[in-house]
A and B are shown apart, each in its own frame.
Chain A
Amino acid sequence: MIPASVQILHWSHYVAACLFALGMFGFLIRKNAIVVLMCIELMLNAVNLILVEVSMRSGHPEGLIFVIFIITVAAAEAAVGLGIILNLYRAKGTVNIDAFRELQG
């Protein structure tokens, strides 16, 4: 199982760039807070893909450890983020992020 010789896999950071771009675009454009959180997850996953590529191409497992850390933090972020969204929904009756303007300082 040594896939590093397969040249086409070296294109995976282009895939990661696409994912990151899409995630960022959705993050900036969408108004639904839940979808915004999903887009953050997409960006995190793009980073994971790059880390896997770098780690496999350089032969160090360090990148995979950061992937594991990122997955853990992403799970935490999703849990707390969704909890906050639920509470915001209870307060406002909507998850449209435009409705939460009074939070800005």
Chain B
Amino acid sequence: MREVFFMIFSIFTVLAALGVVVSRHAIFSAFSLVLAFFGLAILYLLWGTSFVSMLQILIYTGAIVVLFVFVVMLLDLKKEETLDSAKTGPLVMAGLSVWFFSLLILRALNRATYFKSTNVEAASDIKSISTLLFSKYLWGFEILSVFLLALIVSACVLARAEYMERKADQ
């Protein structure tokens, strides 16, 4: 059962990711991105990490991609370039570097010998995650919250610059 689901959804995710890259219009890229994130959430679920899976849907598909779609709608993208406009040279270069990087990832992961499946249930437990988050990784958590504050300020500045510009025009 789990094997079948894994195969279906890994193929589904990869195809959706392919859709992001090759879609002509940005809105189809966004749509494929939703599908890819949804497939990834199901892969997390198959690994038994339901908490992370739900976070994936809640934050990625529920908020981030909505932002993407929002911006795509806001802009007039009629003069959209397509894949055809890319020249052969960059294409080959990109392909080579991607090939190299994927080999690197696979090499590193396939040689890792430290996997021992002990205590797997505890690893996906929400309580153990949150305990770790608020003890060992407390500083990371706090820095992240300060970072988010900085983000809010910068987003406000970005939006306000445009508002001030419009006011100056009038």
Q: CB–CB under 8 A between A and B in the complex?
A: yes
Bound: A5/B106 CA distance, A? 21
Q: Mark B37-66, 1 if CB is under 8 A from A, else 0.
A: 100100110111101100110011001100
**Given B44, B63, B122, which contacts A75 in the complex, CB threshold below 8 Å?**
B63
Q: Are A56 and B158 in contact (CB under 8 A)?
A: no
Query: DSSP majority for the A interface?
Result: helix
User: Which of chain A's residues have a CB closer than 8 A to the CB of B49?
Assistant: 52, 55-56, 64
Number of residues in B with C-beta < 8 Å to the partner?
90
Known: A25-B21, A28-B93, A38-B33. A80 touches B155 (CB 8 A): yes
User: Which of chain A's residues have a CB closer than 8 A to the CB of B18?
Assistant: 22
Q: Are B29 and A68 in contact (CB under 8 A)?
A: no
Q: Are A5 and B68 in contact (CB under 8 A)?
A: no
Q: Are A71 and B20 in contact (CB under 8 A)?
A: no
Q: Mark A1-33, 1 if CB is under 8 A from B, else 0.
A: 111111011011111111111111110111110
**Given B7, B68, B158, which contacts A34 in the complex, CB threshold below 8 Å?**
B68
Bound: A6/B47 CA distance, A? 9
Q: Are B47 and A75 in contact (CB under 8 A)?
A: no
Q: Are B74 and A86 in contact (CB under 8 A)?
A: yes
Q: Are B20 and A86 in contact (CB under 8 A)?
A: no
Bound: A19/B123 CA distance, A? 25
Q: Are B75 and A18 in contact (CB under 8 A)?
A: no
Find residues 9-31 in chain B having any chain A CB closer than 8 Å to their own CB. 10, 13-14, 17-18, 20-21, 23, 26, 29-30
Bound: A80/B155 CA distance, A? 6
Return the 7 tightest CB-CB contacts between A and B, nearest first.
A26-B21, A28-B94, A83-B158, A4-B117, A57-B115, A59-B119, A76-B151
24 contacts between A and B (CB under 8 A): A2-B48, A2-B120, A4-B117, A5-B117, A11-B6, A12-B10, A15-B10, A15-B14, A21-B99, A23-B20, A31-B85, A38-B29, A52-B52, A55-B49, A56-B48, A57-B115, A59-B119, A59-B123, A61-B125, A64-B51, A67-B55, A79-B67, A83-B158, A86-B158
Further pairs besides A13-B109, A73-B144: 5, Cβ < 8 Å: A1-B124, A20-B101, A22-B18, A35-B21, A64-B123
